[in-house]
Amino acid sequence: MTEAELWGLLISFSERGASFGAQLLTIVSAYLAVAYFVGSRLTRVQGLIVSVIFAGAAMTTVAGTYGATLRAAEVASQLQQIHPDKLFILAGRMGRLAPGLSAALNLSLVPVSLFFMYQIRKNPKLGAASD
């Protein structure tokens, strides 16, 4: 693979990872908005359905972020071999740590968001839909 192709892949995987990150923040924000504004008015089944859809979408997005970050690190390592005088943050030790750290941080949003919904449903006065 040529150096130009490697640079193209690095940019592509980096953009893909950023896109997945933006999607995750959108999913989490939408879920938190639902929890805050109507969480206390949802039936138990409706709350469960919304929460299962949220968790599935969030975990799928986290997996995409992990994959894109992992591939970007692999490409960065190849570019590091071509240019040993340049520093590629995702090459070497950070490239081995970044995908897992990113996934762990992103995954932590899921239980925190689910707990927020639980708190709103447990104490309806916390949400905006309280009467």
Parent domain of 50 = 3-126
**DSSP per residue, 106-124:** HHHHHHHHHHHHHHHHH-G
Confidence label for 125 from pLDDT (cuts 50, 70 and 90): confident
Chain centroid to CA 36: 21
Q: Does residue 33 lie in a domain region?
A: yes
Note whether residue 103 is domain-resident.
yes
**Structural domain total, the chain:** 1
pLDDT in tens, 84-124: 998 888 888 888 898 999 999 999 999 999 999 999 999 88
pLDDT band at residue 130, thresholds of 50, 70 and 90? low
Is 131 a member of any domain? no
Q: What is the pLDDT of residues 5-62, one digit of tens each?
A: 999 999 999 999 999 999 999 999 999 999 999 999 999 999 999 999 999 999 999 9
- Cα–Cα distance, 63 to 72 (Å, whole number): 14
State which amino acid sits at residue 55.
A
Query: Looking at the domain assignment, is residue 28 inside a domain?
Result: yes
- Position 17 scores a pLDDT of 93
